Amino acid sequence: MLLKKFKILKKFFLFYVLFSLMGFQDDNKIIWSKDIKLSWDDFKGNPIYVQGKGKRSRSVGAKSYVGIYCNLKYNYDAERYDIEIYSYFDKNASWVKYKTTGLSHEQGHFDIEEIYARRLKKIINSKKFFRHRLSLKIDKIVEVINQQCITYQELYDSETDFHNNFNKQIEWEIKIQKELNALDDYVKNNTFRVKTFGKGT
């Protein structure tokens, strides 16, 4: 199961979506990498009681706090906009009560977040933006991707019954990996130039 947050930084001010990020520390997050898999030791938060929403409603044994970081900034030296995008896992906000077979399910939440981070990169990289009110245009794209991601995460929990449906869990793991592979071109560069035209910063 997951808790989700989306962080957007633009120049010198912050926009928060879904959850406040007050007190967020970089050493408490894991940036997604194909070479790094979650372990139960990464779940450092204090467990709370949450009732599941599956067909067999039960107390949830673990929660992953994942999000997508998006930082739009103006590069004054190069006179251009750059954007940094990556998905991450928050250790201190994520928790586990029952260290059972559900770790692959929690990894799935992290991987889905990465899928949508890559989709966000793909969309922004494929467009050329007029500079005037650029941040608002990026915001709209981010909001759409964020909502799509939330819907997909909820579908994942529902169809796998929070990993308790073993066959569906396996199906989803295969599906998630295929989607990651299809967006493999967008895994290397977390920071890239935003193509723009017109004047202004």
Locate the domains of the chain by residue range: 2-197
Please list the ranges in the chain whose pLDDT falls under 70. 1-25, 50-59, 200-201
Report the alpha-carbon distance of residue 195 to residue 131 in Å, rounded.
9
Is residue 95 within 8 A of residue 62, CB to CB? The reply is yes
Helices (H), 4-133: 103-126
pLDDT tens digits, residue range 77-95? 999 999 999 999 999 999 9
Provide the 8-state DSSP code for 26.
G
Q: What is the DSSP string of 32-45?
A: --TT----GGG--S
Q: Which of 48, 96, 94 is nearest to 67 (CA)?
A: 94
pLDDT value for 101: 79
pLDDT value for 23: 36
> What global pTM score does this model have?
0.84
pLDDT value for 21: 35
